[in-house]
Amino acid sequence: MNKAPNIELHQGDLPSGLTFSGSVAIDSEAMGLNPHRDRLCVVQLSGGDGNAHLVQFAPGEYDAPNLKALFADTSLTKIFHYARFDVAIIEAYLGVTCEPVYCTKIASRLARTYTDKHGLKHLCKEILDVDLSKAQQSSDWGAKELSADQLAYAASDVLYLHQLKARLDEMLEREGRTELAAQCFDFISTRCRLDLEGWPDFDIFSH
């Protein structure tokens, strides 16, 4: 991606008439990592075309019909990195389950067994030779006015997921793990319900 990304910031919901086809990359930023405690602040989306749409939420205002319709659209594959967090917090705040889902972190864990580095920064560097800054990761996402650095960081978390998916799909196919990955992706919504309903750190499959 050579040209600077076009980043559009929207308040409360996506504008009407904005459509994606096939798949959409999604990420979210919150006040912290506990969906029961930490409110959802921003949802980012990209169609994989180098552009990003950011939706910022004011406290308690999660009536976002266009965004909810997009999440509920089963013709759209939602691509996340670590979907387990985003799908759970989207379910908790917007009351909609994202399906079908693709997770680049799970794909990486199943395909790239030669490393234990599956963070987005590492994936972008190794697979795409893109340097991602994580400097704004732990910033105040609840701020009324987000900084230019925050907007650029938030956008960068969705801009490369389509390219990563394409390369990880090739690796999964090569290693014979495409179906296993698909079955893991299908289980994510259930895993998120377990997280939200009281089994976040417990393996219900263990003895």
Q: Which stretch binds Mn ion (CB under 5 A): 22-30, 94-102, 127-135, 162-170?
A: 22-30
**Nearest CB to Mn ion, comparing residues 106 and 172:** 106
Q: How far apart are the C-alpha atoms of 48 and 158, rounded to whole Å?
A: 8
| Binding flag, residue 157, Mn ion (CB under 5 A) | yes
Q: Given 3-state DSSP classes, what are the helix, strand and coil percentages for the chain, each rounded to the nearest 5? A: 40, 15, 45
Structure token digits, residue 187: 């289980």
- Smallest gap, in angstroms, from Cβ of residue 24 to Mn ion? 15
**Nearest CB to Mn ion, comparing residues 110 and 155:** 155
Phi, then psi, of 174 in degrees rounded to 5:
-60, -40
Phi, then psi, of 96 in degrees rounded to 5:
-130, 140
> Hey, which residues does 73 pair with through a beta bridge?
none
**Nearest CB to Mn ion, comparing residues 110 and 161:** 161
Q: Which residue is nearest to Mn ion (CB)?
A: 157
| Binding flag, residue 86, Mn ion (CB under 5 A) | no
> Hey, which residues does 44 pair with through a beta bridge?
27, 54
Judged by CB under 5 A, the residue of 27, 86, 91, 195 near Mn ion is 27
| Binding flag, residue 13, Mn ion (CB under 5 A) | no
Q: To which residue do tokens 């919150």 refer?
A: 30
Q: Which residues contact 106 (CB under 8 A, 6 or more apart)?
A: 83, 181, 184, 185, 188
Number of chain residues interacting with Mn ion (CB under 5 A): 2
The single-letter DSSP state of residue 173 is H
**Nearest CB to Mn ion, comparing residues 157 and 195:** 157
- Smallest gap, in angstroms, from Cβ of residue 29 to Mn ion? 5
- Smallest gap, in angstroms, from Cβ of residue 127 to Mn ion? 18
Chain positions contacting Mn ion, by CB under 5 A = 27, 157
